[in-house]
């Protein structure tokens, strides 16, 4: 099973109509549109990406859904955007997703970085409601991907020590390709 399918299974089990959900790295909008379809017109979706092209793709996917939720689509760095959202949405978001790396089909030099990702993860932990769901997928097969994944793994270990439930899903390595990894965290 693909990590995207596993992440969507977690989201399907967590989210319900009317919930608030956040896609911290919207990319091509797959997670945003999936969450929007669950939370429906009474829900509230926030999607963030550094690139305007990603937000356009996300908007198009969300608009294709018949039960469009309230949506905030932000062109911004995920670390700054999540920190600024804390004052308005602290402990109110049911699920937050991250897909770390670069926007498929775009300039691979524009990618998430460990420092900003760790800042964004700390803010995400403040935004999640009690027992909310945090899904982080790190794509490790590009320059910088392994370093960022290592930083996230250390952060996940730290929150686990503080009482969070943390599991990971990592596909088997095939044909020398470094697979992505998915962390699933919940503040229990």
pLDDT in tens, 81-102: 999 999 999 999 999 999 988 6
3-state secondary structure of 163: coil
Domain 3-187: which CATH number of 3.40.50.150, 3.40.50.300, 2.40.50.250, 1.10.357.10: 3.40.50.150
DSSP-assigned letter for residue 102: B
Question: In the chain, where are the structural domains located?
Answer: 3-187
Q: What's the CA angle centered on 132, arms 40 and 54, to 5 degrees?
A: 55
Q: What is the pTM of this model?
A: 0.94
DSSP-assigned letter for residue 59: H
- pLDDT of the residue at 155: 97
CA distance 163 to 140: 27
- Is 158's pLDDT higher than 90? yes
pLDDT exceeding 90 applies to what percent of the chain?
76
CA distance 171 to 139: 12
CA distance 25 to 136: 10
- Is 106's pLDDT higher than 90? no
- pLDDT of the residue at 167: 97
């Amino acid at each position: 099973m693909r990590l995207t399918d596993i992440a969507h299974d977690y989201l399907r089990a967590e989210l319900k109509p009317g919930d608030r959900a956040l896609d911290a790295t919207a990319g091509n909008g797959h997670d945003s549109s999936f969450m929007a379809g669950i939370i429906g017109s009474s829900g509230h979706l926030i999607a963030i990406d550094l690139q305007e092209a990603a937000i356009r793709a996300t908007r198009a996917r969300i608009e294709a859904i018949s039960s469009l939720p309230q949506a905030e689509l932000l062109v911004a760095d995920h670390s700054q955007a999540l920190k600024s959202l804390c004052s308005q949405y602290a402990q109110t978001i049911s699920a937050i997703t991250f897909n770390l790396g670069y926007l498929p089909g775009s300039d691979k030099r524009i990618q998430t970085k460990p420092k900003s990702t760790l800042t964004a993860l700390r803010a995400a932990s403040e935004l999640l409601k009690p027992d909310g769901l945090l899904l982080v997928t790190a794509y490790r097969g590009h320059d910088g991907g392994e370093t960022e994944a290592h930083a996230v793994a250390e952060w996940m270990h730290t929150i686990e020590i503080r009482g969070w439930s943390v599991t990971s899903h990592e596909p088997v390595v095939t044909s020398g390709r470094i697979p992505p990894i998915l962390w699933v965290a919940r503040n229990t």
